[in-house]
Amino acid sequence: MNISTHEVFNQSTPFEGVNLFRANRPLQDALRLHAPGLSSAGLNALGAEAGSAATQTHARLANSHPPVLLSHDRYGHRIDQVEFHPSYHALLGSALGHGLHGTPWARGPGSHVERAAAFMLFTEAEPAVLCPVSMSYAVAPALRANPALAADWGPKLASTAHDPRFLPHTQKSAVTMGMGMTEKQGGSDVRANTTRAEADGEDAWGRRFVLTGHKWFFSAPMCDAFLVLAQAPAGLSCFFLPRFRPDGSVNAIHIQRLKHKLGNHANASAEVEFQRASAWLVGEEGRGVPQILAMGALTRLDCALGTAGLMRHALSLALHHTSQRQAFGKRLIEQPMMKNVLADLALESEAATALAMRLARAVDRTEHGQDGDGFEMIMRRVLTPIAKFWVCKRGSLFAQEAMECLGGNGYVEAHGEGVMARIYREMPRNSIWEGAGNIMALDLLRALRSGAASPTSRHGPVADAMMFEVAAARKAHPAVARLAERVAAGLDGATDEAQARRLARDVALLVQASLLFTSSSEAVFSAFCASRLDGAADVFGLLPAGLDLDAIIARAMPTEIDSTMKTQEFP
Ligand SMILES: Cc1cc2nc3c(=O)[nH]c(=O)nc-3n(C[C@H](O)[C@H](O)[C@H](O)COP(=O)(O)OP(=O)(O)OC[C@H]3O[C@@H](n4cnc5c(N)ncnc54)[C@H](O)[C@@H]3O)c2cc1C
């Protein structure tokens, strides 16, 4: 006999079947600002795919069936391979197919901005598979320092195919690359690396070495090759380390173990040992740190983009849920205090999108030779650590508050269906990897030290560039003007490490306010200034009285924009 004890009601529906690009007005407005002529056809297609139920199923399966290390075959031979669920490959194939990795390097102006928007959108589908995608994007400038390798590997790094076979690159239609810096005794301080590099001759790829040592974090180990750091006779150097040697033999990269991580479950992060593995010098011997940081700077961009994407996803889930769930006689979204929380989250999410996309524009302009006066290069150098620091730092707090909007359901995994829990576990990764918060703030000081003071100006070149960037917003709101004064003074000769986080936060807030003035609504700009510029609030939901919360929430709602909205249709 079938006994029903109750009816299920007042639960929200799944958030699926939404075109995540068309439903993201802040992102569309950021694109209008940074790449006004761009066709949105590709992003539209990606937005539909990323928001589909089929993609969500792949994301659930890829995360609930994590990768497995196959260290040996059944006869006892080492094979050092990692097996992924078919859904991982479906997602990775989709990301590569949409050109989220190497394609911008072969295309014209605007391509890095478009790719940045696509990266954010894909994060809303599944962030973990983007690890090898991001590294394959970021490796291009660093690899150019060895022209033979760049010529040989570049085209396949930009291919939109996904070829997961464990074969030499000559037999594959597409390849991916990773990076290995972190060792047990030091990650931030890579100069502590102990992996040894011994000269081993020269061939078509240049100076060949053999590496002996280990890496403590080595993500996406099924990539076809890696840039790694090792101690050569002339000092710490950058090497190209392929999974197969040119003669077709498997290189001596032994996977010891896969990390059991808090989140990021679909992606494999390995511990590896090199037992006289063959590797080729990239760049100058002894100059390995700046060489590999050409790659690290771009993965830092992706940390900011990825976190902004995760924030947008968490916000959409919170808005979707609170629009349907009733408590105390009203929909949650109509409860005054919930409005305050949601509007505050919306401000943070849009500001994160704006800052990450601004950095993408600086990358685009500098890579495509559209930076005659060097202004965008200063912005790129300074905003990289700032965006990585501030956006990623805010991510975990943001996810916790968005989760709370869903009540108990937000905390529940439900065999991988609980997306909010997955987002929450993913957030700290972007903050830690590729330089944790303190390292980013210290890098800001380094960037300031590298720019000599200009004799003709009251401030140094970085402070000057920053004041130029925010000039219009400074006139528009007194809180922006006050913060700009503090930032200009702070950037001038800043050396105090203990205060570097404060400076990084202030620059981030200033640039975010300026971007919101240029590309967002009056309601968003004035609420952002009122709530953050004269002293950051400690928790979300403390917006002062008198702000237009309804307008802020309406702008953030993940409903697909139709032609009746006042913003012009994205071309
Ligand atoms: C999921 C995941 C994947 C990863 N994948 C890779 C990968 O593929 N390749 C790779 O090379 N690495 C990878 N990493 C490693 C990551 O980049 C490092 O963990 C990170 O750089 C920090 O290094 P560490 O763990 O040695 O910590 P430490 O360097 O010991 O730092 C610990 C803390 O001290 C702080 N600190 C350090 N120096 C200073 C200072 N001078 N002043 C103030 N504070 C300081 C840091 O900010 C940090 O908060 C991955 C990490 C994670 C979590």
Q: How far apart are CA 198 and CA 178, in angstroms?
A: 22
Distance, CA 189 to ligand 1 centroid (Å)? 8
Q: Which residue has the tokens 């330089």?
A: 435
Q: How far apart are CA 554 and CA 541, in angstroms?
A: 17
Query: In sequence order, which residues have a C-beta less than 8 Å from that of residue 37 and are 6 or more positions away?
Result: 110, 571
- What is the pTM assigned to this prediction? 0.97
Distance, CA 432 to ligand 1 centroid (Å)? 6
- Nearest atom of ligand 1 to the alpha carbon of 219: 8
* Structure-block tokens of residue 229: 């750091």
Looking at residue 365, what is its pLDDT? Answer: 97
Measured from the CB, is residue 190 less than 6 Å from ligand 1?
A: no
Q: How far apart are CA 482 and CA 218, in angstroms?
A: 44
Looking at residue 504, what is its pLDDT? Answer: 97
Measured from the CB, is residue 127 less than 6 Å from ligand 1?
A: no
Quick one: 23 exposed, middle or buried, by C-beta within 10 A (0-12, 13-18, 19+)? buried
Distance in angstroms between the alpha carbons of the first and the last residue of the chain: 59
Measured from the CB, is residue 434 less than 6 Å from ligand 1?
A: yes
Q: H or E element: which one contains 134?
A: helix 130-143
- Nearest atom of ligand 1 to the alpha carbon of 437: 47
Measured from the CB, is residue 66 less than 6 Å from ligand 1?
A: no
Measured from the CB, is residue 433 less than 6 Å from ligand 1?
A: yes
Of 351, 394, 409, the closest CA to residue 552 belongs to 351
Measured from the CB, is residue 185 less than 6 Å from ligand 1?
A: no
Measured from the CB, is residue 219 less than 6 Å from ligand 1?
A: yes
Looking at residue 459, what is its pLDDT? Answer: 65
Q: Which residue has the tokens 């004269």?
A: 534
Measured from the CB, is residue 193 less than 6 Å from ligand 1?
A: no
Q: 416-432 b/e with 16+ CB inside 10 Å = b? A: bebbbbbbbbbbbbbbe
Among 189, 193, 217, 260, which residue has the most ligand 1 atoms within 8 Å of its CB, making it the best to mutate? 217
Measured from the CB, is residue 214 less than 6 Å from ligand 1?
A: no
Q: How far is CA 497 from CA 383, 443, 444, 464, 510, in A?
A: 18, 10, 10, 22, 20
* Below-70 pLDDT ranges, the chain: 1, 451-459, 562-571
Shortest-distance Cα residue to atom 33 of ligand 1: 436
Among 264, 439, 443, 445, which residue has the most ligand 1 atoms within 8 Å of its CB, making it the best to mutate? 439
Shortest-distance Cα residue to atom 23 of ligand 1: 187
Shortest-distance Cα residue to atom 38 of ligand 1: 188
- Nearest atom of ligand 1 to the alpha carbon of 264: 1
- Nearest atom of ligand 1 to the alpha carbon of 187: 26
